[in-house]
């Protein structure tokens, strides 16, 4: 073997000495950190689910208000709100006024309860729309 080849080989020797008490310290740190990371991940997923539900509640209220502006009665409004957010089971829809006339302000409130662990949150969204002239009866004394 040539002299260059011998010098290119890594030297075999005793491993670098470890300080006493450091062996396995990485394992202990991992054992302490992994549960914290797992809890943070689960918490982040729960918060993301609640944010998604908030967006769905707002969309249901918006769809309900739009329907309330173009129809009469509460049935079509409830159906439109439920169609806009079918993922939200146990959703409550309130429409005021139920009987609407031209120019009235229709108010739709959607409420649903969600829980994260032992804590319950009531998610509520309200949307309003002016009733369009073609819907319902005209006001007394109004000029068509």
Predicted TM-score (pTM) of the model is 0.69
Q: Confirm whether 95 is domain-assigned.
A: yes
The reply to whether 135 falls in a domain is no
Q: What is the DSSP letter of 128?
A: E
Instruction: Count structural domains, the chain.
Output: 1
Domain that holds residue 79: 28-130
**pLDDT of res. 136:** 52
pLDDT of residue 128: 95
User: What is the mean pLDDT of the segment spanning 39-61?
Assistant: 93
pLDDT in tens, 74-89: 999 999 999 999 999 8
Q: Is 107 helix (H, G, I), strand (E, B) or coil?
A: strand
Say if residue 120's pLDDT is above 80.
Answer: yes
| Residue 139 belongs to a domain | no
Asked if residue 107 is part of any domain, the answer here is: yes
Please state, in angstroms and rounded to a whole number, the distance separating the CA atoms of residues 123 and 22: 51
pLDDT surpassing 50 at residue 143: no
């Amino acid at each position: 073997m040539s002299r260059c080849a011998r010098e290119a080989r890594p030297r075999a020797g005793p491993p670098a000495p470890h300080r006493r008490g450091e062996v396995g310290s990485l394992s202990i740190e991992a054992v302490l950190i992994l549960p914290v990371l797992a809890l943070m991940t689960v918490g982040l997923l729960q918060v993301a689910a609640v944010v998604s539900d908030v967006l769905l509640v707002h969309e249901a209220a918006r769809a309900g208000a739009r329907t309330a502006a173009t129809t009469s009665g509460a049935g079509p409004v409830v159906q439109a709100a439920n169609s806009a957010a079918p993922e939200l089971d146990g959703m409550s829809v309130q429409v005021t006024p139920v009987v609407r006339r031209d120019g009235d302000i229709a108010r739709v409130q959607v409420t649903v309860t969600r829980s994260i662990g032992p804590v319950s949150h009531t998610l509520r969204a309200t949307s309003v729309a002016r009733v369009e002239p073609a819907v319902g009866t005209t006001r007394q004394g109004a000029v068509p």
